[in-house]
Amino acid sequence: MFEKNIPPGKNFFGFGGNVFFAGLVSFFMDISSEMIYPLVPLFLANTLGINKSVIGLIEGIAESTASLLKVYSGWLSDRLGNRKWLMAAGYAVSTLSRPLIALAPGWHQVMGSRFMDRFGKGVRTAPRDAIIAESASHANLGRAFGFHRAMDTMGAVVGPALAFFCLGIFSNNYRLVFWLSVLPGLVAVLLIIFGIKEKKRAVPLAERPKLSAKHFDWRFKVFLVIAAIFALGNSSDVFLILRAEQVGIPAAAIPLVYLLFNLVYSLSSMPAGMAADRFGKKRIILLGFVLFAILYYGFAVASSTKSIWLLFGFYGLFMGLTEGVQKAFLSTIIPSEFKATAFGLYTMAVGLATLPASLIGGWLWDQVSSAATFYFGAATAGISALLFSILIIAIRNNDARLSKKTP
């Protein structure tokens, strides 16, 4: 329904205009976000004196509650025949959340800022992913999503680097860094307005999709369950940051550790997408699940700063292997007229699992040990890998049956 309505535009470095500008938008927004994100747990713990359970609650509520919007935003995008302006609205809301955290006198205001930021993410994610999926050929989906993740994460390299630079110059003034993060967010919004091209078409009432799971087959539904189980153990990355500090990484160097993670993530995203196009998306996703289980076990037993640096690097590789590739895989098993709805359902399922994930992670940290948080994540990743292996076999058998029926 949408593919013919989005003009291909000019090519930039081998990518269509919409794919290129969507990547550029995410680059600037992630500069803004990642100037803040690695500092938030330190700000809460060291400046405001908040315990780990409350930090987990803040992150869980911000991610999960806002994730409810993702499915509705995707459905609304499909129903209205509009992607661009929902995307722009989401990025604008996230940018407006920055002053709230800069002025926060307590953790309630920090939670409000985090919720507002994730609210914006909930509005923008599904329409943006649909634009990318509709602007790339089927054979290059992995490459397109890999490029987007690479640009997104390169912004997440620049963001912590700027935060580290500003903290050094302005004597660990967290609030000033929060204020400066507004500027790249504004650039991202302007790039959407002037860079993304969409020819809106009124969708006839009879063609407007209803918010229902009946549009999707068993492959999509089973994958959603697997993704949610995995997300249940994938607690907020703030626990990785707190673990790094616990093992001995100085607070001022935390942005550099996070920068390493994002640098590897960025550099691996596009090669991972191209490998997925060549060797199969399902294989790359399975590899990512297994790698995550190994890494979280590593975080549980880590006892030196060298091991933390190594683990953060490999964690970036895991993200490169999974984030864009999972969305590329979804694009192959969902109807074209329900792309944004499907991406919304996927991100909602994963997002909703982050509330119990972060609550469980924080509770295990405070009541059992910091290692218990990561043992739990390793276990859920192992279960997800097993279930996804079964799904791969089921899809293969189903395809074989269908090919036999085809004359």
pLDDT digits (tens, 9 = 90+) for 300-318: 999 999 999 999 999 999 9
Lowest mean pLDDT among 10-19, 241-250, 299-308, 366-375: 10-19
Closest of 305, 294, 194, 193 to residue 246, by C-alpha: 305
More confidently predicted of 180 and 204: 180
Whether pLDDT at 171 is above 90:
no
Q: What's the whole-number mean pLDDT along residues 377-396? A: 95
Spatial distance between the Cα atoms of 28 and 118, rounded to a whole number of angstroms: 16
- Kind and range of the H or E run holding 16: strand 15-16
Whether pLDDT at 393 is above 90:
yes
Lowest mean pLDDT among 30-39, 63-72, 211-220, 346-355: 63-72
Please state the pTM of the whole predicted model.
0.69
Looking at the domain assignment, is residue 5 inside a domain? Answer: no
Band (pLDDT 50/70/90 cuts) for residue 6 is: very low
Spatial distance between the Cα atoms of 251 and 256, rounded to a whole number of angstroms: 10
Looking at the domain assignment, is residue 354 inside a domain? Answer: yes
DSSP state of 11: E
Q: Report DSSP letters for 242-253, one per residue.
A: HHHHHHT--GGG
Looking at the domain assignment, is residue 134 inside a domain? Answer: yes
* Structure confidence at residue 57 (pLDDT): 79
Looking at the domain assignment, is residue 4 inside a domain? Answer: no
* Structure confidence at residue 5 (pLDDT): 44
Task: Summarize pLDDT for 58-114 with one digit per residue, the tens.
Answer: 877 776 666 677 667 877 887 777 788 889 999 999 999 998 888 888 888 888 888
Q: What's the whole-number mean pLDDT along residues 366-386? A: 95
- What does each C-alpha distance from 333 to 29, 60, 229, 245, 328 come to in angstroms? 29, 29, 20, 42, 9
Number of domains in the chain: 1
Task: Summarize pLDDT for 315-336 with one digit per residue, the tens.
Answer: 999 988 887 788 788 888 887 7
Whether pLDDT at 264 is above 50:
yes
Looking at the domain assignment, is residue 352 inside a domain? Answer: yes
Whether pLDDT at 213 is above 80:
no
Looking at the domain assignment, is residue 1 inside a domain? Answer: no
Looking at the domain assignment, is residue 208 inside a domain? Answer: no
Q: What's the whole-number mean pLDDT along residues 4-20? A: 65
Range of the domain at 372: 14-199+214-405
Q: What's the whole-number mean pLDDT along residues 206-234? A: 79
| Helix pair angle (238-247, 52-80), 10° resolution | 150
* Structure confidence at residue 202 (pLDDT): 54
Please answer whether residues 314 and 259 qualify as being in contact, where contact means their C-beta atoms are separated by less than 8 angstroms. Answer: no
Whether pLDDT at 241 is above 60:
yes
* CA-angle at 24, arms to 155 and 94, nearest 5°: 70
Whether pLDDT at 201 is above 70:
no
Please answer whether residues 88 and 193 qualify as being in contact, where contact means their C-beta atoms are separated by less than 8 angstroms. Answer: yes
What phi, psi does 359 have (nearest 5°)? Answer: -65, -45
* Structure confidence at residue 211 (pLDDT): 55
| Three-state DSSP state, 1 | coil
Task: Summarize pLDDT for 107-144 with one digit per residue, the tens.
Answer: 888 888 888 888 898 888 888 988 888 887 777 777 88
Residue 21: Cβ within 10 Å count:
22
Looking at the domain assignment, is residue 332 inside a domain? Answer: yes
CATH number at residue 101: 1.20.1250.20
